[in-house]
Amino acid sequence: MRRLALFLAVVAACGCATSPDADPRDPLEPMNRAVYEFNDTFDQAIATPVAKAYRGVLHVEIRNRISNFWSNIGDVFIGVNNVLQGKFQDGVEDWARVAFNSTIGLFGIHDVASDMGLEKHDEDFGQTFGRWGVGSGPYLVIPFIGPSTLRDGTGLVLDFHFDPWNDVTPSSFRDPMWALRFVNRRAELLDASSLLEQAALDRYIFLRDAYLQRRRNQIYDGQPPRRREEDDVNEAPKPAVK
Amino acid sequence: MTMKKIACFLASLLVLVAAHAQEATAPDVLVKTVTLEVLDLIVKDKEIQAGNRAKLLQVINAKVLPHFDFESMTSLAMGQNWRTATPEQRKQLIDAFRTLLVRTYASALAAYSDQKFDFRPLRAKPTDTDVLVQVRVMQPGSQPVPIDYSMEKTPAGWKAYDVAVGGVSLVANYRTEFATVVRSSGIDGLIRDLQAKNRQLEQRK
């Protein structure tokens, strides 16, 4: 986490070294491509095989329980971010989800709240900054983590900092569970990453554009203004008027 | 009733029937019918379930392709470069892009395992000729994944010219890729890249 903050600080410091005909959203492309290559090598050599083995060993029902457990922990700060964005009703719903799922749902392994009609939301500090009108800043590929931007990477530092799992003791239990969390996450994404490999001519560009589009969509909660021709993913939305 | 009145009545009836036949299936109804029909075919077909890619592509070609406007998709993905492409280049681009999209689509379908669909009510005026049809794929324990079809009314019925999954528009995503390749190796370079990609995917199955 501290290393991530350091990485962002270093990037911000060398942000001036840009090539003239780069994509305006991605002035650091040469560095990003290098980190992307590194991540891709790590992913193919270690993360994907581990995720595949994990998927092979554990039945889908058990994996869903594990996903639910982590999803429940995430809901605490999804609620905080909804409140920070002025979406009080969504925030209260998120905390109601935590209350029901942690109790009736047995520490979150059953998502009873969704069955009760409390829908899962998707928020983080990067989206909150976006809502507040902060532009995405340059696109960044973060070592081991992947596509991000200066704004979202900063948000990620806060996401990790405030994650309730940090407070769990003893560390001999907490740290292996962090590993499980990442492996489970990678396994969830196996289908998506094999599609990416199929569809893309240049995976770096395809992934970058998909990431930037997706974040824009998330900041607008799935209802971005429609546009057909123009292509400036960089602009920030107006702050929510609610 | 006089003969004239009967004739008049019959004539107006005919006009009504003709007008009804002209009316294209509503875009949201079209998406729902085609989605459910294709998924039903796939789930019931033993060969497709056993991994027969050729059969799956046949189903997609017959049931899904007629509802997409690949020329629009290709021209939108090409952006400004479309204007400088010759008719022959345009034809090759459309062909290669269609093949790539269909193969990707087939892989997405092959990964399908009884997720539930939520077909959202269409929010558009009856006079609109360009609408967004929204579908959500429900998955246990995570946020539903939205699939949005941008559709345009054509003389041959409603046709999709873009699909966005989780807010990621396919056309917009290919636009930067295409522009990058065209800048470095021209439109013919892009055609070669697309064809090479398709050959590589074909060998791999």
| Contact predicate A239/A133, CB 8 Å | yes
Of B104, B143, B176, the CB nearest to A195: B104
Q: In chain B, what is the straight-line distance between the N-terminal and C-terminal CA atoms, in Å?
A: 70
Phi, psi of B148 (to 5 degrees): -115, 125
Of B132, B143, B181, the CB nearest to A122: B143
B157 reaches A (C-beta below 8 A): no
Cα–Cα dist A129/A137, whole Å: 11
pLDDT value at position A237? 45
CB contact under 8 A, B143 and A121: yes
CA angle A136, A139, A145 (to 5 degrees): 110
CB contact under 8 A, A222 and B132: no
Number of Cβ pairs closer than 8 Å across A and B?
A: 78
More confident residue, A221 or B71: B71
- Judge residue B143's burial from the number of C-beta atoms within 10 Å of its C-beta, 0-12 exposed, 13-18 middle, 19 or more buried: middle
pLDDT value at position A230? 45
Identity of the residue numbered B118: D
Give yes or no for a cis peptide into B140 (omega within 30° of 0).
no
Q: Which residues lie across from B159 on neighbouring strands?
A: B152
B173 reaches A (C-beta below 8 A): yes
pLDDT value at position A233? 38
Tell me, yes or no, if the pTM score tops 0.90. Answer: no
b/e map of A124-158 (b: 16 or more CB within 10 Å)? bbbbbbbbeebebbbbbbbeeebbbbbbbbbbbbb
Q: Which residues lie across from B148 on neighbouring strands?
A: B134, B164
Closest residue on chain B to A224 (Cα): B167
* Alpha carbon A57 to its chain's center: 26
A196 reaches B (C-beta below 8 A): no
Residue B66 structure tokens: 């007629």
A185 reaches B (C-beta below 8 A): no
Report, as ranges of residue numbers, the positions in chain A whose pLDDT lies below 70. Answer: 1-3, 6, 10-21, 226-242
pLDDT value at position B2? 67
List of chain A residues whose C-beta atoms are within 8 Å of the C-beta of residue B176 = 23, 205, 209, 231
The helix or strand, by DSSP H or E, that contains position B142, with its residue range, turns out to be strand B142-154
| Contact predicate B142/A191, CB 8 Å | no
Confidence of residue B116 (pLDDT cuts 50, 70, 90): confident
Chain B interface mutation, best of A82, A109, A201, highest count of B Cβ atoms under 10 Å: A201
Of B107, B166, B197, the CB nearest to A214: B166
Q: What is the mean pLDDT of residues B5-18?
A: 65
CB contact under 8 A, A198 and B103: yes
List of chain B residues whose C-beta atoms are within 8 Å of the C-beta of residue A205 = 176-177, 180
B98 reaches A (C-beta below 8 A): no
List of chain A residues whose C-beta atoms are within 8 Å of the C-beta of residue B181 = 201-202
| Contact predicate A96/A103, CB 8 Å | no
ipTM of the complex: 0.76
* Alpha carbon B33 to its chain's center: 13
What distance in Å separates residue B105's CA from the closest CA in chain A? Answer: 9
The helix or strand, by DSSP H or E, that contains position B115, with its residue range, turns out to be none
Beta pairing class for B168-169 and A139-142: unpaired
| One-character DSSP codes across A40-76 | HHHIIIIIHHHHHHHHHHS-HHHHHHHHHHHHHHHHH
Distances (CA, A) of B183 to B82, B90, B188: 13, 17, 11
DSSP category for residue A212: H
For residue B47, pLDDT beyond 50: yes
A67 reaches B (C-beta below 8 A): yes
Which phi-psi region, left, alpha or beta, contains residue B157 (left: φ > 0; alpha: ψ -120 to 50)?
Answer: left
- How many CA atoms are closer than 13 Å to the CA of A70, on its beta-carbon side? 17
Query: pLDDT tens digits for B134-173?
Result: 998 887 656 778 889 999 998 888 999 999 888 888 899 9
